[in-house]
């Protein structure tokens, strides 16, 4: 059950209204990496989550993002104010001015309707937490860019508040992922094919010349357990395509993992025995 408190989590102050900046701010109201997207992604993951602790985490942060939606909405409304009686201001966002009466709507800075296609919800906790870490990183960089495009002190401070919270959330989701104690690249219950999983495929080359340093001596094809494989078109052998049967139950799982999907899956699911603590996500 939800409750709304008539007190803003952060009180917004704007010196000079700037309708074109108000238009830009809509990115964080109804945009792809905005507050509604965050609120819905985490809250609905929370509805689906089977682990009580992580469910609480997801709904805590999902609910806080609703409070942020209210803050950024208030900030935008102040900047859009001149649209009500100034044609030039209205041109900054004709959709908002004409159809929306100068108020906020669930659209982004170019008037695209908000869509749940923005959300990443798989119902697998270890996967969803990675999606959330990335989502917070995106929201952080967007707030930073907005800060750089205004000179209004009150707006900058409000955005700094919101931007900071994204880093807090990024840390919380990372802590939750680490608390699952799964090996770094363990996803689901079927292990990838040995050998093939170590092959880095060089699909972009300088024609037939594959000798450049960046092509053969990067951390992602040299070290990290990955090996460079050249494509057939450049005279290489290509990837190892030996057929390999999937083996459910071979991946290391955690007690917090979501129950896997599929009638044939995990029949012989072993007891989760993580060999070591998670080091990197």
237 near a copy of itself (CB under 8 A): no
5 near a copy of itself (CB under 8 A): yes
> Are 74 and 11 in contact, with CB atoms under 8 Å apart?
no
Alpha-carbon span 269 to 214, nearest angstrom: 41
Tell me how far CA of residue 59 lies from CA of 40, 169, 176, 193, 233, in angstroms.
10, 12, 13, 36, 50
Site string for a copy of itself, 172-201 (x = CB under 8 A): xxxxx-xx----xx-xxxx-xx--xxxxxx
Alpha-carbon span 96 to 94, nearest angstrom: 5
In the list 131, 182, 254, 256, the residue contacting a copy of itself (rule: CB under 8 A) is 131
In the list 211, 245, 273, 275, the residue contacting a copy of itself (rule: CB under 8 A) is 245
Q: How far is the CB of 181 from a copy of itself (least distance, A)?
A: 10
174: exposed, middle or buried (Cβ count in 10 Å: 0-12, 13-18, 19+)? middle
Q: Which is nearer to a copy of itself, 140 or 254 (CB)?
A: 140
Q: How far is the CB of 93 from a copy of itself (least distance, A)?
A: 8
Q: How far is the CB of 271 from a copy of itself (least distance, A)?
A: 19
**CA terminus-to-terminus distance, the chain:** 33
Q: How far is the CB of 171 from a copy of itself (least distance, A)?
A: 6
6 near a copy of itself (CB under 8 A): yes
> Are 257 and 181 in contact, with CB atoms under 8 Å apart?
no
106 near a copy of itself (CB under 8 A): yes
Q: Which is nearer to a copy of itself, 91 or 255 (CB)?
A: 91
């Amino acid at each position: 059950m939800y409750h709304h408190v008539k007190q803003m989590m952060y009180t917004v102050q704007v010196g000079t209204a700037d309708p074109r900046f108000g238009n830009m701010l809509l990115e964080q109201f109804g945009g792809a990496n905005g507050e509604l997207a965050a609120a819905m992604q985490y809250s609905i993951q929370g509805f689906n989550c089977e682990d009580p602790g992580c469910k609480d985490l997801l709904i805590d942060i999902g609910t806080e993002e609703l409070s942020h939606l209210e803050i950024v909405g208030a900030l935008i409304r102040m900047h859009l104010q001149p649209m009500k009686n100034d044609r030039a201001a209205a041109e900054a966002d004709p959709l908002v001015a004409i159809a929306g009466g100068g108020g906020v709507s669930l659209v982004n800075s170019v008037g695209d309707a908000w869509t749940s296609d923005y959300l990443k919800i798989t119902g697998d906790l270890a996967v969803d937490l990675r999606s959330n870490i990335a989502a917070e990183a995106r929201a952080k960089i967007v707030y930073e860019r907005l800060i750089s495009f205004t000179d209004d002190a009150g707006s900058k401070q409000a955005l700094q508040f919101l931007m900071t919270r994204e880093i807090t959330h990024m840390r919380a989701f990372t802590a939750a992922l680490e608390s699952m104690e799964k090996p770094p690249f363990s996803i689901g219950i079927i292990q990838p094919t040995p050998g093939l999983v170590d092959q880095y495929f060089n699909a972009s080359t300088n024609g037939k010349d594959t000798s450049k340093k960046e092509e053969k001596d990067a951390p992602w094809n040299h070290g990290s357990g990955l090996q460079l494989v050249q494509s057939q078109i450049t005279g290489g052998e290509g990837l190892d395509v030996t057929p390999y049967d999937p083996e459910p139950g071979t991946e290391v799982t955690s007690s917090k993992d979501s129950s896997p999907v599929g009638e044939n899956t995990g029949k012989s699911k072993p007891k989760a025995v993580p060999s070591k603590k998670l080091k990197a996500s």
